Structure 1
Amino acid sequence: MQSTTGTTDTTGNSQGSSDNQWPASPTISAGSAILIDADTGAILYEKDCHSRAYPASTTKIMTSLLAIENSSLDDVITFSKAAANSYKWDEANTGTREGEQFTMEQALYATLLKSANEVAYGIGEYIAGSIPAFSDMMNERARELGALNTHFNNPNGLSDTNHYTTAYDLAMIGRACFNNSTFMTISSSVNYSIPPTNKTAETRYFRQRHGMANSNGYQYEYFKGGKTGFTDESGYTLITFAQKDDMRLICVVFRESDDASRYVDSKALFDYGFNNFKKAPISSSDVSSLFNSSNYYNSKVFGNAGISFSMDSAYVDIPQSASITDIDISVSENSEASDNNYDFTADVSFNYGSHKVGTATLLVTTPKSDTKDTNLPYIQESTSSVVSQKNCLVINIWHVIIMIIAVLIIFEIIDTVHDNKMRKHRRRSYNRRRHR
């Protein structure tokens, strides 16, 4: 999902004619940041979220996601000499040796909790055969997830001018991570240990590096997982997953000046999201009521399909004081549907002022005969913000035929009764004349 259509100030508040009801956002120190709903993709807050930045070790969420998607947890990784020597003494590592073996599960815990650079390197070699090939996989998967301003050049996030992303892009990758149960189980763990291996006699103990998971002053009760990062070039970076009731949020902060600031900013943004927004369901009937002459008659849906459509359940994120009637919609270009039950699909964006608060896909069936636009039961064109439903009279030809037959039968009965009365009257008149 793209950012809002309004311009953005340094606090992340979009400026638009209808944005005065959007909740006021907190002031943060991060150079760039974003807060999104993991389910709808709605951007609840953003600050320079499309500017390029070095992700540092937050890169490892992509490395881990690819590993989970392309291997089994019980696969065995044998670390090469290049992997074992791929870190410096002062960088995060587990002291892995050439020829040492980890299961993929152990390697993932070492990557996400310990942030071990050489283990991430070993994962990349195992999955793709080489680091360049794994980087290609990372970039392809990033594009699939909507991270279009990202280029990965290694699996661990060590500084490289050709290794960059944006807060928005990392949040898009984070959505796939949040929906992966294996990733979230590992990412949310606080402690883990790897027992002695074929090369090391000691047990390795790991503790979660993400401060919002630990009792160190930054613990957050709704924390569900995340990843830290730091290099001299990137500054302090952080991606965090949190859930309160049915709302799942992702926060990314880049270019923080110190360790504490990234946690303070992330907590402020999560509190802002959970306290000021609600997730509201939206149905096909809601979409019908939101159509008007500009977003329907001028769309590809009207040109191809008339009014027959359905929609999977969808949600929007709106301010606590808002309702579905405050939403407007826009309809995208349509495309061929992969489902044989439908002729094509059309993407719908739900907007609150200049803020895109959700999306859905209409599943459209074309009519069997031409449909006159004058018979479409959508709302009347009006400059008023209050919409009114257009009245529509639909006549069933069989009902008309049945009514005509019924009327003819009634007339026949009336005529028969009238004839009987006339015959009785003539008979009485005849009998009176006869007896005079």
Structure 2
Amino acid sequence: MRKKKLTGRVLSLFLSFIFLISSISSSLLADNGTSSSETGNDPALSNPVEDLLDSDPSDLPIVGADSYLIYDASSDTKLIGYQYNNLRAPAAITQIMTVLLALEELEMEDTITITKEMYETIPDDYVRIGFTEGEIVTVEQCIYACLLKSANDACMALAIKISGSESAFVEKMNERATGLGCSSTRFTNSYGRSDSDHKTTCLDMSLILKEALRHPDFRKIATSSSYTIEPTNTYNDKRILNNANRFISTPATAYEYYIGGKTGFSAESSYTIIAGVEKDGRTLIGILLGAGDAEKRYQTLIDLFEYCFTNYTTTMIDTTEMTSVVSGTRTQIEQAIVDTPLKITNTDLRLLECYSIQTSLANGGYSNELDLSSMVIDPTADEQVFSLPIYRRFSNNEAYCIGYYTVTIADPDKVTESTVVSELSGKKSLKEKIVPIIVGTILFLCLIISCLFLIKMIKRRKFNKNHRNPTIL
């Protein structure tokens, strides 16, 4: 029995060793392999205007709000604004983030069973649909209730449906805001309840609405004039929801380009409003925080939108316009390296899709330039990569960086030779590492066989000893 156990242990040890050797070999092969992914070092394309496009606009309509911003979502440009990065209370426009998360994580036909947690903490003077415990409603009904009536119980129902509790949902709200580039926003509740820590900015809310407007359902619901919630398991009558947004409900402030948004009010925030509009392929987002009048905020936003459509333009960049400047640059580079072994081995042109600018400047014409000032070629280097900025210069001599022309210059012979040597070196290194492992495995195998043979011999001797013929006296 002991011999069987000993033999089993030896075999187990041997198999473990073989597994270890196989793992090491696989690791070595992986380490000496090549990766298909490479990290680029090209500069990122970004809006050429970091701050306001026009910091001192003339003949601007009177705004009447603590903070405001008109943001061009197409070109990612802040056209005009005031204190747009200052923290303010958003009130019910908070619900845009809740609806956005619902559109991203739930299906419209999903059902929600109302619990007390979804309405009992809402202050009495806040708007509600009047859902009751045990009532079964759909996600679609709740989203309509949020966007058309600012129904806070519907908003809470969505939040708890998604995350199980409002506190867990608030964490998700803040994570999503950060992911959208909101650098200042901090939400503490799902629907905009007054709280000294519940704050956002005009810019951050513009980024949130920009993302929400990517969803066709958001646009459809926000621009609906009314919606009917049919009787439910606990409520026998229809609930008719008329859109409270005056861009839709009131002829005097109806705006044909409106594609979605939200309003809000609280004693702390005063009146708030955010809206997206679309005209001639351009998408603008306007927001007022701390407005002084419920009705005037609509007309103010319309006036600001019209001002921006008139005084600023968004221009698409046509790649074919760069043909001559790129061709000329390539010729210059080739002439500079003509007496060296260097060649242009690769080029890449990356351009912004569009940019925004004052209409007066756009009408004055422009020229395209490729900046070679940072390009210093080393004739002894095997390979060099240069990212050359492309500028669009306007009549006032102002220039926008609208893209990059990346040029790779190399000595083809050296690059090829270097690649071959590197591959051979890698193979040699791999061989040097694996050979000792193989030799060690063979030696260990020999040792195991010897041990097994020895055990067998001992066992045979003992058997012969126990079975000798008895001595006859």
TM-score (normalizing by structure 1): 0.68
Amino acid at match of 1:280: T
- How far apart are 1:130 and its partner, in Å? 1.1
In the alignment, what sits opposite 1:204?
Answer: 239
Q: What SS does the corresponding residue of 1:213 show, helix, strand or coil?
A: helix
Q: Is the 8 A contact 1:290 1:329 kept in 2?
A: yes
Aligned partners of 1:143, 1:231: CA distance in 2, in Å?
25
The aligned runs of 1:250-329 (5 Å cut-off) are: 250-284=285-319, 308-311=347-350, 314-323=353-362, 325=366
- How far apart are 1:114 and its partner, in Å? 1.1
In the alignment, what sits opposite 2:193?
Answer: 158
In the alignment, what sits opposite 2:257?
Answer: 222
Amino acid at match of 2:173: M
Higher-helix-fraction structure: 2
Aligned partners of 2:126, 2:388: CA distance in 1, in Å?
49
Deviates more, 1:208-217 or 1:165-174: 208-217
Structure 1 residue 14 and structure 2 residue 48: aligned?
A: no
How many residue pairs match? The answer is: 338
Of structures 1 and 2, the larger Rg is shown by 2
- How far apart are 1:279 and its partner, in Å? 2.1
Deviates more, 1:51-60 or 1:35-44: 35-44
Structure 1 residue 184 and structure 2 residue 225: aligned?
A: no
Q: Is the 8 A contact 2:389 2:405 kept in 1?
A: no
RMSD over equivalenced CA pairs, Å: 3.7
- How far apart are 1:362 and its partner, in Å? 5.6
Structure 1 residue 103 and structure 2 residue 142: aligned?
A: no
Q: 1:270 to 1:132 in 2, by over 3 A?
A: same
Aligned partners of 2:411, 2:292: CA distance in 1, in Å?
64
| Residue of structure 2 aligned with 1:66, choices 90, 93, 101 | 101
In the alignment, what sits opposite 1:94?
Answer: 129
Q: 1:199 to 1:280 in 2, by over 3 A?
A: same
Amino acid at match of 1:180: H
Structure 1 residue 231 and structure 2 residue 266: aligned?
A: yes
Identity %: 30
Q: What SS does the corresponding residue of 1:96 show, helix, strand or coil?
A: coil
Amino acid at match of 1:267: I
Deviates more, 1:22-31 or 1:138-147: 22-31
- How far apart are 1:51 and its partner, in Å? 0.4
- How far apart are 1:265 and its partner, in Å? 1.4
Q: Is the 8 A contact 1:281 1:314 kept in 2?
A: yes
Deviates more, 1:256-265 or 1:305-314: 305-314
Q: 1:63 to 1:352 in 2, by over 3 A?
A: farther
In the alignment, what sits opposite 1:378?
Answer: none
The aligned runs of 1:166-181 (5 Å cut-off) are: 166-181=201-216
- How far apart are 1:278 and its partner, in Å? 2.2
In the alignment, what sits opposite 1:48?
Answer: 83
Q: Is the 8 A contact 2:286 2:305 kept in 1?
A: yes
Amino acid at match of 1:54: A
- How far apart are 1:364 and its partner, in Å? 5.3
In the alignment, what sits opposite 2:62?
Answer: 27
- How far apart are 1:368 and its partner, in Å? 5.0
Amino acid at match of 1:74: E
**Which 5+ residue runs of structure 1 have no aligned equivalent?**
16-21, 298-304, 331-342, 371-436
Q: What SS does the corresponding residue of 1:317 show, helix, strand or coil?
A: strand
Deviates more, 1:203-212 or 1:321-330: 321-330
Aligned partners of 1:187, 1:193: CA distance in 2, in Å?
14
Q: 1:193 to 1:358 in 2, by over 3 A?
A: farther
Q: What SS does the corresponding residue of 2:360 show, helix, strand or coil?
A: coil
Aligned partners of 2:212, 2:153: CA distance in 1, in Å?
22
TM-score (normalizing by structure 2): 0.63
Aligned partners of 2:217, 2:386: CA distance in 1, in Å?
34
**Which 5+ residue runs of structure 2 have no aligned equivalent?**
1-45, 334-343, 372-384, 413-473
